[in-house]
């Protein structure tokens, strides 16, 4: 009910952005540009940004500790000398072999690595595969556990890993919609009809699908989820399908009354985190939010003066590192946090609690680690 009320407020209050002069007069925007040197970038990010793990844990999520036990086995060949080779793959030129492997789906690739130490070494030698298992192991595991790994090739996986913009709005974010394997921001993931997931019986009822039409629907098995507000898990699993695909297969338009928020409650069950990998620089970006904007909302008393929709946009904005440094140049409250952090060596006294905790709910290990990024000053 609270979420529905909030969405109604956002729709009715208005979305007009305050002018630059208005932002400056209320202390949100700096009146002069703050130029930061490259050697200070990491310290500025440490002092004035945070990562909201509530978002991450509301989709398919795996604890980093779980990865530690499998990363070596899934990313490296056996240390012993190979006792079996590539079998019939030996007959292929090396370039053609790599091209074949690159276009295999992730499920086939996973099983191929288990066929022999020779095939394992061949797969592990691909830079695309190494990028996937090094930076996107959660997404790989999500594909396997939802039953969708057979629908995504290594080439497609790597391509989306190296894409940073949401397919719907063009904003950067760290999520991927598994059923279509498209990068998606959190807002679009929750709200877009194209990402709406429902139980099969729901679309059978709405679109009167025949058995043959129902068999064409691409489906996923949900992964046990974590309730971020209670830090508890839901171990039940179910099957979900795309309402958008059902509409296309049936040739019938979607019914508007099915678009209420309560009918979008399954959307997050078909997504997981996927960082952005810059193949040119090797840099990995998991996104960051501005603690300065959160401080402005908390301390400047501007919530009633600027629209709810505008505040939602600026406080929930996810930046890459380069994008954030551009934002920082004019964000007055982010500069306040930086100036009080002693060069990024201590926690700013006015750092908002949500930024310090890396989110609003729970006490995850990631939050504890995030809360300890500032060493004690000696």
Q: What pLDDT is stored for residue 229 in this prediction?
A: 43
- Closest by CA position to 170, among listed 155, 145, 187: 187
List, for residues 321-361, the tens digit of each pLDDT value: 999 999 999 999 999 999 999 999 999 999 999 999 988 66
Residue 281 domain-assigned?
no
Rounded mean pLDDT of 256-261? 55
- Domains in the chain: how many in total? 3
Model confidence pLDDT, tens digit, residues 124-137: 999 999 999 999 99
Q: How many CB atoms lie within 10 A of CB 127?
A: 10
Mapped onto helix, strand or coil, the DSSP state of residue 117 is helix
Measured at the CA of 86, the angle between CA 80 and CA 92, to 5 degrees, comes to: 140
Question: What's the pLDDT score for residue 20?
Answer: 62
How wide is the angle at C-alpha 101 spanned by C-alphas 152 and 141, nearest 5°? 40
Residue 58 placed within a domain: no
Do 120 and 97 have their domain in common?
A: yes
Q: Is the pLDDT of residue 367 over 50?
A: no
Looking at the structure, tell me whether residues 71 and 151 fall in a common domain.
Answer: yes
Residues 6+ apart with CB under 8 A from 357: 367, 370, 371
Mean pLDDT across the stretch 161-172? 96
Asked if the structure places residue 322 within a domain, the reply is: yes
CA distance 102 to 157: 10
Residue 212 counted as domain residue: yes
Kindly report the pTM of this predicted structure.
Answer: 0.82
Question: And the tokens for 261?
Answer: 């928020």
Please indicate, yes or no, whether residues 156 and 69 belong to a single structural domain of this protein.
yes
Cross-strand partners of 273: 175
Q: Which domain holds residue 312?
A: 2-51+288-371
Is 259 inside any structural domain?
yes
Q: 161, 191, 226 — which closes off a domain?
A: 161
Indicate the pLDDT class of residue 3, thresholds 50, 70 and 90: very low
Pair (146, 213) in one structural domain: no
Q: Has residue 88 been placed in a domain?
A: yes
Verify that 34 and 85 share a domain, yes or no: no
Let me know whether 313 and 364 are in one domain. Answer: yes
Say how far apart CA 162 and CA 155 lie, in whole Å: 11
Residues 245 and 269 grouped into a single domain: yes
Of 127-141, 209-223, 225-239, 351-365, minimum mean pLDDT range: 225-239
Q: What per-residue confidence (pLDDT) applies to 7?
A: 40
CA distance 98 to 125: 9
Indicate the residue among 247, 273, 299 that finishes a domain.
273
279 lies in some domain? no
């Amino acid at each position: 009910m609270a979420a529905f009320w909030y969405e109604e407020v956002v729709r009715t209050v208005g979305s007009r952005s305050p002018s630059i002069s208005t932002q400056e007069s209320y202390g949100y925007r700096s009146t002069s540009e703050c130029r930061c040197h490259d050697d200070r970038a990491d310290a500025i990010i440490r002092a004035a940004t945070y990562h909201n793990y509530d978002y991450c844990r509301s989709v398919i999520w795996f604890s980093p500790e779980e990865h530690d036990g499998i990363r070596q086995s899934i990313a490296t060949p056996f240390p012993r000398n190979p006792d079996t080779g590539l079998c019939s793959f030996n007959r292929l030129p090396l370039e053609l072999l790599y091209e074949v492997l690159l276009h295999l789906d992730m499920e086939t690739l996973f099983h191929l690595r288990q066929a022999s130490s020779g095939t394992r070494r061949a797969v592990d030698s691909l830079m695309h595969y190494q990028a996937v298992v090094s930076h996107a192991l959660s997404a790989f595991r999500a594909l396997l556990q939802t039953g969708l790994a057979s629908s995504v090739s290594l080439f497609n996986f790597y391509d989306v890993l190296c894409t940073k913009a949401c397919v719907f709005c063009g904003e950067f974010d760290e999520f991927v919609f598994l059923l279509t394997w498209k990068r998606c921001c959190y807002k679009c993931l929750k709200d877009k009809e194209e990402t709406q997931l429902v139980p099969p019986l729901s679309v059978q009822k709405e679109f009167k699908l025949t058995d043959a039409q129902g068999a064409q629907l691409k489906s996923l098995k949900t992964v046990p989820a974590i309730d971020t507000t209670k830090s508890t898990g839901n171990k039940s699993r179910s099957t979900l399908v795309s309402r958008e695909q059902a509409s296309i297969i049936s040739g019938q338009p979607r019914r508007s009354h099915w678009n209420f928020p309560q009918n979008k409650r399954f959307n997050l069950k078909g997504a997981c985190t996927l960082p952005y990998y810059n193949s040119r620089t090797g840099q990995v970006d998991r996104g960051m939010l501005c603690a300065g904007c959160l401080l402005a909302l908390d301390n400047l008393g501007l919530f009633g003066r600027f629209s709810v929709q505008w505040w939602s946009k600026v406080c929930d904005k996810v930046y890459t590192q380069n994008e954030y440094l551009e934002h920082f140049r004019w964000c007055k409250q982010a500069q306040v946090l930086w100036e009080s952090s002693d060069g990024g060596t201590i926690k700013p006294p006015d750092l908002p609690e949500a930024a310090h905790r890396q989110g609003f709910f729970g006490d995850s290990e990631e939050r504890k680690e995030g809360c300890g990024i500032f060493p004690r000053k000696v």
